[in-house]
């Protein structure tokens, strides 16, 4: 579903964000990208939805050669992806319903499809009853659920999350994590870049660790800290 | 047609438009001023061209004959003029008739009864088929036997044409500058809207809206600025035409001007198009700049 081979990313200011990264993510996978700030987690995600362009290497997302993608084909790629951010990126002058519908409306979806898809998406994240509320009237967790509903409304095969729980308290974090897991169970490939140790350790899913722009470890059922034992988690 | 789509789109355009109303009014005002000037310029140009053609059409050559001319010479000149293809008409006017004409033209301001002798020479009144030939015909006639002098309104015509050319050049310069200013102000207005909506644009790009789609509401907004400005201008021009134009015609009765040198509907349509084009172009450029970065 996602495949990176020998990918490097050097920003115009000379910073080498990623260095010879190779990674394969299968359909239906759930992957955590972990590492300190500035180790390239966000950069890696940005490459996938083509907010940044790889300096070298090949990137394939859902059969699309993203590293070679022409500018005018980027919108087509993004319609196959859902992206969620730490700061939600909701429009404060639109209701929950309108925020979710917006993602369909601006891609030229038929009103009939909007009317069908938006309620489904809101139902999935459990916000049907708050569809008329504005983002400022919601809790952080609800705002993030709205953002996830928006990311899912076009039925993407892949959901990319950049620090989705970064602004949330533990209760809301748990809620969002459970939601992401539910989405993954429905067959969506989920990639989450996170700092949150509790989330990673509770889920016990694939963990890809980045350090200074390189992948240092890739564990099938990993922990946040390398080599952390089961006992340590329980006692911690 | 998907009415929901249209409603959503129009809603977005209207929201943009009302978001910075002050700036929109400035833009519309500038466009209006520019287009009033453009309209005035086009109108004056058309009026001048109209006067010019009329004068050129009316221009006739007076070939004054020698006092000692013989009837045979008069007949020879008449025959010559009749066969010249450039000449539309040639009429022999003996001096008695000439005096009578003068009397009617001056409406008695010159008391011809005081004259003891008719001071006018006999003449031929010649009209050329096309105004451009007037000079050449006059030159030929001057060389004919028995012709003492040839007079036609050469200077007036030349001056008029020169004035028209100068006015056109200056006018075009002024209009170009004003259109540029209007374009810049619209472009700035749109840039403010783009800035106010940068989050929305970022989200649109994120969820896979095409640049064309993102651009469209802004283009519409610019077009709206241009069209509204043009409508205001057309209204002002219509008022000016209804109130000032008849007075001008009255004040300048000797200027052979037609009441409507241009079709006002065509002029209005043209101005509307110019307004829309400036708006579209200006917003296209300013949004494009944002999307590229």
Selected residues 6-65 of chain B with any CB under 8 Å from a CB in chain A: 8
* β-strands A214-219, B61-65 pairing: unpaired
For B192, counting Cβ atoms within 10 Å of its Cβ (0-12 exposed, 13-18 middle, 19+ buried), the class is middle
User: Is B1 in a helix, a strand, or coil?
Assistant: coil
By the CB < 8 Å criterion, does B259 face chain A?
no
Q: What is the pLDDT along chain A (236 residues), one digit of tens a residue?
A: 899 999 999 999 989 999 999 999 999 999 999 988 889 999 999 999 999 999 999 999 999 999 999 988 999 999 989 999 999 999 998 999 999 999 999 888 899 999 999 999 999 999 999 999 999 999 999 999 999 999 999 999 999 999 999 889 999 999 999 999 999 999 999 999 998 888 899 888 999 999 999 999 998 888 887 655 444 444 43
Q: What is the mean pLDDT of chain B?
A: 81
Residue contact B199–A72, C-beta within 8 A: no
Query: How many CA atoms lie less than 13 Å away from A103 in the CB half-sphere?
Result: 30
Question: What number of other Cβ atoms are within 10 A of residue A16's Cβ?
Answer: 16
Contact residues for B255 (Cβ-Cβ < 8 A; gap 6+):
B51
Distance from CA of A97 to the nearest CA of B (A): 13
**CA–CA separation, B185 and A152 (whole Å):** 40
Residue contact A102–B202, C-beta within 8 A: no
Q: What element of type H or E holds A119?
A: helix A111-124
User: Is A113 in a helix, a strand, or coil?
Assistant: helix
Whether the CB-CB separation of A184 and A82 falls below 8 Å is answered with no
Confidence at residue A234, expressed as pLDDT on a 0 to 100 scale: 43
Handedness of CA B229, B231, B235, B241 (dihedral sign): positive
Summarised one tens digit per residue, pLDDT across range A19-44 is 999 999 999 999 999 988 889 999 99
Q: What element of type H or E holds A121?
A: helix A111-124
By the CB < 8 Å criterion, does A155 face chain B?
no
A72 vs B contacts (CB less than 8 Å)? 210-211
Summarised one tens digit per residue, pLDDT across range B206-250 is 999 998 888 888 888 889 989 999 999 999 988 988 888 777 777
Residue B293 reports pLDDT greater than 60: no
B213 vs A contacts (CB less than 8 Å)? 106-108
Q: Which residue has the tokens 């943009």?
A: B16
Selected residues 201-220 of chain B with any CB under 8 Å from a CB in chain A: 202-211, 213-214
Q: Minimal Cα distance from A101: which residue of B? A: B8
Q: Minimal Cα distance from A51: which residue of B? A: B206
Helices (H), chain B: 3-19, 21-58, 71-83, 95-106, 134-142, 154-196, 198-206, 211-251, 264-292
Task: Identify any residues that bridge with A18 across adjacent strands, giving them in sequence order.
Answer: A9
Confidence at residue B255, expressed as pLDDT on a 0 to 100 scale: 59
Residue contact B205–A79, C-beta within 8 A: no
Q: CB pairs below 8 Å between A and B: how many?
A: 56
Contact residues for A25 (Cβ-Cβ < 8 A; gap 6+):
A1, A2, A3, A31, A189, A191
Residue contact A103–B3, C-beta within 8 A: no
Confidence at residue A134, expressed as pLDDT on a 0 to 100 scale: 96
Of the pLDDT bands very low, low, confident and very high (cuts 50, 70, 90), residue B134 is confident
ipTM score assigned to the predicted complex? 0.86
Residue B258 reports pLDDT greater than 70: no
**CA–CA separation, B237 and B243 (whole Å):** 10
Query: How many CA atoms lie less than 13 Å away from B182 in the CB half-sphere?
Result: 33
Confidence at residue B244, expressed as pLDDT on a 0 to 100 scale: 82
**CA–CA separation, B92 and B78 (whole Å):** 8
Whether the CB-CB separation of A188 and A40 falls below 8 Å is answered with no
**CA–CA separation, B225 and B284 (whole Å):** 13
By the CB < 8 Å criterion, does A66 face chain B?
no
**CA–CA separation, A103 and A105 (whole Å):** 6
**CA–CA separation, A154 and B46 (whole Å):** 58
B205 vs A contacts (CB less than 8 Å)? 75, 78
Confidence at residue B166, expressed as pLDDT on a 0 to 100 scale: 82
Share of chain B above pLDDT 70, in %: 90
Summarised one tens digit per residue, pLDDT across range B152-199 is 776 766 776 677 778 778 878 887 887 888 888 888 888 887 888 888
Compare CB distances from A106 to B2, B4, B213 and report the shortest one's residue: B213
Residue contact A108–B5, C-beta within 8 A: yes
Compare CB distances from A107 to B2, B3, B208 and report the shortest one's residue: B208
């Amino acid at each position: 579903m996602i495949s990176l081979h020998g990918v490097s990313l050097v920003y115009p200011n000379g910073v080498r964000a990623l260095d010879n990264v190779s990674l394969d993510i299968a359909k239906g996978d759930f992957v955590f990208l972990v590492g300190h700030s500035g180790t390239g987690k966000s950069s890696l995600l940005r490459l996938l939805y083509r907010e940044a362009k790889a300096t070298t290497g090949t990137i394939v997302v859902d059969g699309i050669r993203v590293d070679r993608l022409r500018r005018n084909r980027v919108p087509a790629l993004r319609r196959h992806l859902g992206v969620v951010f730490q700061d939600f990126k909701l429009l404060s002058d639109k209701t929950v319903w309108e925020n979710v519908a917006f993602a369909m409306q601006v891609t030229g979806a038929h009103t009939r499809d909007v009317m069908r898809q938006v309620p489904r998406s809101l139902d999935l994240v459990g916000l049907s009853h708050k569809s008329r509320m504005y983002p400022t009237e919601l809790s952080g967790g609800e705002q993030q659920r709205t953002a996830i509903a928006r990311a899912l409304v076009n039925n993407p095969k892949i959901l990319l999350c950049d620090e989705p729980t970064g602004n949330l308290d533990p209760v809301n974090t748990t809620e969002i994590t459970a939601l992401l897991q539910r989405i993954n169970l429905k067959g969506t490939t989920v990639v989450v870049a996170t700092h949150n140790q509790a989330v990673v350790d509770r889920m016990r899913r694939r963990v890809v660790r980045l350090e200074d722009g390189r992948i240092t470890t890739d564990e099938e059922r990993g922990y946040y800290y390398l080599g952390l034992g089961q006992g340590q988690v329980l006692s911690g | 047609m998907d009415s929901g789509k249209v409603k959503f789109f129009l809603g977005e355009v209207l929201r943009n438009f009302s978001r910075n109303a002050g700036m929109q009014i400035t833009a519309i005002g500038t466009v209006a001023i520019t287009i009033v000037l453009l309209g005035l310029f086009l109108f004056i140009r058309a009026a001048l061209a109209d006067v010019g053609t009329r004068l050129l059409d009316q221009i006739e050559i007076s070939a004054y004959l020698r006092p000692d001319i013989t009837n045979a010479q008069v007949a020879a000149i008449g025959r010559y003029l009749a066969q010249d293809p450039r000449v539309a008409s040639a009429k022999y006017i003996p001096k008695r008739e000439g005096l009578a004409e003068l009397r009617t033209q001056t409406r008695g301001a010159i008391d011809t009864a005081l004259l003891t002798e008719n001071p006018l020479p006999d003449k031929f009144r010649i009209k050329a088929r096309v105004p451009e030939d007037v000079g050449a015909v006059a030159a030929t006639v001057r060389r004919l036997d028995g012709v003492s002098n040839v007079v036609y309104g050469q200077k007036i015509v030349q001056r008029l044409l020169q004035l028209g050319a100068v006015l056109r050049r200056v006018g075009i310069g002024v209009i170009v500058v004003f259109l540029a200013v209007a374009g810049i102000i619209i472009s700035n207005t749109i840039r403010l809207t783009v800035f106010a909506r940068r989050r929305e644009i970022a989200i649109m790009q994120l969820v896979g809206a095409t640049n064309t789609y993102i651009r469209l509401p802004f283009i519409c907004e610019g077009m709206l600025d241009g069209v509204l400005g043009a409508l205001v201008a057309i209204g002002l021009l219509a008022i000016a035409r209804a109130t000032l134009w008849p007075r001008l015609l009255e004040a300048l009765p000797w200027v052979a001007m037609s009441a409507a040198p241009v079709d006002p509907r065509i002029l209005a349509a043209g101005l509307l198009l110019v307004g829309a084009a400036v708006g579209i172009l200006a917003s296209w450029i300013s949004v494009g700049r944002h999307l590229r970065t």
